[in-house]
Chains A and B, each alone.
Chain A
Amino acid sequence: MTGARDQVARLLALVPYIRARSEVSLEQAAADFGVSPAQLAKDLNVLWFCGLPGLGMGDLIDVDMEALEGEGMIRVSNADYLTRPLRLGSSEASALIVALRALREGSDDDVRPIVDSTLNKLEAAAGDGAALAAQVDVRFPRRQAHVDELRERLEQAVSDKRQVRLDYYVPTRDESTERVVDPLRVVHADGHTYLDAWCHLAEDQRLFRLDRVSSAEVLDTPVRRHAGVRPRDLAQGIFQPSPDDTLATLRLTPEARWVAEYYPVEDTRNERGGGLLVRLRVGDPAWLTRLMLRLGDSAELLEPPDLAEQVRRTAAAALANYS
């Protein structure tokens, strides 16, 4: 039954759309409305029976069926009842206004005034429908414009199947390295944008966070094929511990409980006083050392002993700088 509702919504826009253009090809109209030409032809058949009902046949809208079936052109007459589309609903107006604001944040000085004037005109036309937009706010990370530009270039490289040379910063090892990658796809997860790619330096599949890419050059060379390599399924999140990773046991005080939510843990056990015992998989010992130094006295590494010793040695070496 939602079919009729959607069809009426479409027709309410279709009539003024055609009137504003005097005639439109079925193809063009279908593209503009995001439906198939066959569906649009069905819609026009409904219109044929609509108009101001009343005496006898009433006063019906006239669709030029000959032009439609012959040249595939849409012409409509006697449709003065519907000269303007329906006003914007609050969800429609707000979704568009919030999107425009997002566009405004990433735009440069040339484009921003155009976005501003568009926003003003749209808000005026939407009237009350725009009210919800005041209750929605979007704040992007500082480097968002850089990430947007990069994302578009990398998406192009994915579809062109071209290799990319990346200058990428690896925080756990604190180094910037240059590498050539075969891009697989660009993906969003957990508030960040990543390039999923085969990395020729690591000789493995890797995820690259776009805000850590300092430069990317799309090369002329085509990507190589890699048997069995497919874009990752990120439904389980970005951090996907491998079963080969070392299993570490941490005792967390209540202030450090966030660790168990932030990183995937194997299991947790509540302790008296609100603390938590967690076991997690550690791929890179440097990462765990970094985490333990941050946590200070709000966490204790119980297992494995060699990693605990490494944390103590690193802390002692750093502390020596302050004496």
Chain B
Amino acid sequence: MTARKSERLLNLLITLLVSRTYVTKERLRSVIEPYHEANDEAFEKMFERDKEELRSLGIPIEVGYVDRAFEDEPGYRIERSAFELPDIDLTPEEAAVIGLAARVWQHAGLAAATSDALVKLKAAGVTVDREALNVAQPQLTADEPAFEPLWQATRTRTPVRFGYRSSTATRGSTRHLQPWGVVSVQGRWYVVGHDTGRGEPRVFRLSRIRGEVEPDGDAGSYDVPPGTDVRALTQTLAPPPADRTAAVLVRPGAAHGLRRHAEPTPDGEAPEGWERLSVRYGADEAFADEVLGYGADVVVLEPDEVRASVVRRLQAAAT
């Protein structure tokens, strides 16, 4: 069964690809054996299904008129330039890079997509030898169940709805979103888009999505606003660059974690039993969190904002 159908699909494809003009349905029926063996109704059904199946593979089947003077009989064709992968000329090292990239995704659906792409490139004459390069290979994981539906929704521009509970909300709510893109920050996935319920752009963390992500409209029913920079919209998610400096006192032999991003300040004065360090950090509150984790082994001298935040929280915890 499978073989017969594959044969039919491939023959339909070759006929449409080779023809310079649009091929009418009747013509197709006369040259493709299973079509002219079928009765009218069976042929129509078979032909419609076959077209859809080829299109689902990404094959562009155009519909047009054979003769512009008599626009009564539509025909079909496949434009070769839209069908074929353009020339891609890769050096052996570049081919090795492609081979390594094909192993990056640890997500079943995307791993399959990259290996399909790799097969096409091999078919275009690319020979992949991964050993040609010595690179530590990154891995991209996407364990969140919401990842695949949101990737597909972004790809097809399909509005979605899902249950969501933010970190501060008491209970979850249903959100309606036109997804613009998906972003991974520090190993966690987020979706950014236009929240139609709130009427503004929003970012959602995929691990906080509850239940299924469901379509909430037709594919292609919205446009991503021109000039949208998904990266910039999610900039707030990334930790700020460590461009601030704090002066701290540390007990000798303590606070190893802090020392990993600290430098000694030899000319700074330190009381007996303390070392003075200079520490690079990004955000005041996050740095205060880190300092508090060392209890009585670390003292913040400056900046004042961090010192005040630490003191305020210690006072609360001490009473």
Contacts and interface: CB of A to CB of B under 8 A. Distances in A.
B184 A138 contact: yes
Interface SS of chain A? helix
B88 A125 contact: yes
B140 A138 contact: yes
Interface string B79-113: 00011111111110110011011101110001001
B14 A52 contact: yes
A190 B113 CA distance: 24
A87 B86 contact: yes
Contact of A139 (B117, B151, B154, B183): B183
Contact of A137 (B141, B230, B249): B230
A151 B139 contact: yes
A138 B105 CA distance: 12
Interface in B132-151: 133, 135-141, 143, 151
B277 to A, nearest CB: 14
A202 interface: no
B138 A102 contact: yes
Interface residues of A, number: 117
A11 to B, nearest CB: 6
Given A84-B85, A87-B58, A122-B88, A176 B10 contact: no
A158 to B, nearest CB: 15
B97 A296 contact: no
A73 interface: no
Given A297-B313, A314-B295, A46 B10 contact: yes
Contact of B311 (A4, A274, A317, A319): A319
B312 interface: yes
Interface in A126-153: 127, 132, 134-141, 144-145, 148-149, 151-152
A85 interface: yes
A91 B154 CA distance: 10
Contacts of A152: 136-137
B313 A296 contact: yes
A85 B117 contact: no
Chain B interface residue bracket vs A = 35 or more
A103 B101 contact: yes
Interface stretch (A62-70, A111-119, A216-224, A238-246): A111-119
B120 A86 contact: yes
B255 interface: yes
A96 B85 contact: no
A172 to B, nearest CB: 9
B97 A115 contact: yes
Interface of B: 2-3, 5-7, 9-11, 13-15, 17-18, 31-33, 53-54, 56-59, 82-91, 93-94, 97-98, 100-102, 104-106, 110, 113-125, 133, 135-141, 143, 151-152, 154-155, 167-168, 170, 180-188, 208, 224, 230-231, 234, 238, 249, 254-257, 260, 289, 292-297, 299, 307, 310-319
The 4 closest A-B pairs by CB, nearest first: A191-B187, A296-B313, A135-B181, A297-B316
